[in-house]
A and B are shown apart, each in its own frame.
Chain A
Amino acid sequence: MTAAPPAAPPAKRRRPHPWVLWTALAIAAVIFLYPFVWLVSASLKPRPQVFDNRLVPSDWAPENYTAIWTAAPVWTWLFNSVVVALAAAAAVTISSAIVAFGFAYFRFPGRNVLFALVVGTMMLPGAVTMIPTYLIWNELGLAATQVPLWAGNLFGSAFYIFLIRQFFLGLPRELFEAARVDGAGYWRLFWRIAVPLCRPALIVAFVFELRASWSDLLKPLIYLRDPALFTMPRGMKAILDQFGQAGEARWEIVLAGAVITTVPMIIAFFLCQRYFVEGVATQARKG
């Protein structure tokens, strides 16, 4: 029985002991971190010991990481991923900022309806437009290139338009009016005033898309045929197919690959943690 003595005055509610709180958080933290530790540790074990589930390898096998470099063109894949992710993030940030400024600064008939439409497209499942989008790139002769992985981002994306517009709306209008009086054009208002003042929002959009693009598997599966063009996740899938699963059962290579796929995102996260958290929190505020 855990009930308090019946005579206890109800006014003073018993708070849980702090150690209950800290223990619960610590257990949760271990559960969330353990798979990473397991992954890194197992990736450094020789093949027969990969599944021994020991926290610290009994024999170290850092050569797994040299083996993967000869087994698969990992540098090429990493390079491809970096290029694609940077292009995707830059494209979506710039185009979304332009569109967001259009919605934030100008007053024109039908603005609210149009903006509602923008927000509504956030609900549109990507799977529905997947096939015709493929056919468009195919028609343009770009279906087997990396272009479809980022070029769709040149047209803005609803979530980022929403996010950046919120920031633009927070700027005092007098700022723009003063510049107008001085003869500044609209582009100048956008590029010289709005953009520099809303840099944090732009960084949020950039890092969010960087992550999304880096992690994407579906588009690379659809578009990329030539292994020399693979992004890291697509390459990772190829490694899994060849060395794990129905393949050669060299799981230490698969594990090293999984670490290599993940580490750049972990680094990016620690560099821009603030922006990741801000981006997620903003997501909720639109709800």
Chain B
Amino acid sequence: MNVAVRRRETWAAVGFLSPWLIGFAVFMAGPMVASLVLSFTDYDVLTSTDFVGGENYRQLLADPKVRSSIANTLIYTALHVPVTMVVSLALAMLLARVGRRSAGFFRTIFYLPTITPKVAVGVLFLLLFNGQVGLVNSALGSVGIDGPNWTVDGPWIKPGLVLIGAWSLGSTVIIYLAALQNVPRDLYEAAEMDGASRWATFRAVTVPMISGALFFTLIINTIASLQTFDEVYTAFYGSANQQTYGNDAALFYVVYLFQQAFQFLHMGYASALAWLLFVIIVVITVVQVRLSRRFVYYENE
């Protein structure tokens, strides 16, 4: 290719890439920098803005609500992600054993909750897990268990949310099923010939062969889980009759961030919160990537 053609190609490429380049500058890189700058100010939209140095970060370290929202979010994530992964894998392994048509049928059923808007999930949570009249407790009652007040009692709110969260695991099931269907049959036949037990086969064949999918769902479910907002805000926060209500046991990080930024208009402080979230997510993701390097098997390496 001669130089003139190459140059023309490069300019054409820039043309095609320009939407993303502009979007990156205006809606990603710019805002990242802007929120970092804002995090050192007392910007609140209404009054004049002053540079306050590290004041927001000092305040953030001392803010008990920051601590409790981080704890709530981490506890929820630490429960939600493994539960989702284990249940999804179990369901996907069941699906991998039935014919494709039946698998498709059940897969549809498992995926339906995932496309249900989170607002509706939040409403369902309030009603199904209601301590007095909810379906969950009446089911527990029928086997003699006195169910807790899932939607009111602080310590029970997160387990309840984990359960309703597990209802929306359809995407993870689809990802695992696709991965399981790609495991070469002869590996299982070889394992069977060697007389490997089912558990040994699972550990030595299935898990390594789908480790890429496991790793991927670990990362995306964790990142999504750390930003849980819609269903929690729906169920526990809002305003009725001119009064805002909330439940501190359900104060998730992004809920608190949203409140600070858009209800109290403490945008400088909220920007510091946003950056802290970013750092937390990066650190957790990096740790996960490091750890899983040892476990993930890549066919092409």
Footprint of B on A, CB under 8 Å?
10-11, 13, 21-22, 24-25, 28-29, 32-36, 38-39, 42, 51, 53, 95, 98-99, 101-103, 105-109, 111, 114, 117-118, 121, 123-136, 138, 152, 154-156, 161, 186, 190, 211, 214-218, 221-222, 232-233, 236-237, 240-242, 244-247, 251, 254-255, 257-258, 261-262, 265-266, 268-269, 273, 276-277, 280-281, 283-287
Q: Is the CB of B229 within 8 A of A106?
A: no
User: In the complex, what distance in Å separates the CA atom of A177 from the CA atom of B239?
Assistant: 61
Q: Is the CB of A132 within 8 A of B124?
A: no
Minimal Cβ-Cβ distance residue in B for A269:
B115
Whole-angstrom distance between the Cβ of B249 and the nearest chain A Cβ: 16
Q: In B1-53, which residues have CB < 8 Å from any A CB?
A: 9-10, 12-17, 19-20, 22-24, 26-28, 30-32, 34-35, 38, 45
Q: Is the CB of B94 within 8 A of A106?
A: no
Q: Is the CB of A35 within 8 A of B113?
A: yes
Q: Chain A residues with Cβ under 8 A from B300's Cβ?
A: none
Q: Chain B residues with Cβ under 8 A from A156's Cβ?
A: 19-20, 23
**Which residue from B98, B130, B217 sits with its C-beta under 8 Å from A21?**
B98
Q: Which of B23, B30, B233 has the most chain A CB atoms closer than 10 A to its own CB?
A: B23
Q: Chain B residues with Cβ under 8 A from A241's Cβ?
A: 238-240
7 A-B pairs with C-beta separation under 8 A: A32-B112, A128-B278, A233-B118, A236-B234, A247-B241, A257-B123, A262-B116
Q: Is the CB of A99 within 8 A of B34?
A: no
Q: Chain B residues with Cβ under 8 A from A32's Cβ?
A: 109-110, 112-113, 167
Check B271 for interface membership: any CB of A closer than 8 A. Answer: yes
**Which residue from B23, B110, B270 sits with its C-beta under 8 Å from A28?**
B110
Minimal Cβ-Cβ distance residue in A for B193:
A11
Q: Chain B residues with Cβ under 8 A from A106's Cβ?
A: 9-10, 12-13, 16
Q: Is the CB of A98 within 8 A of B117?
A: no
Q: Is the CB of B179 within 8 A of A233?
A: no
Q: In B62-120, which residues have CB < 8 Å from any A CB?
A: 91, 94-95, 97-98, 102, 106-113, 115-120
Q: Chain A residues with Cβ under 8 A from B135's Cβ?
A: 34, 38, 53
User: In the complex, what distance in Å separates the CA atom of A233 from the CA atom of B243?
Assistant: 20
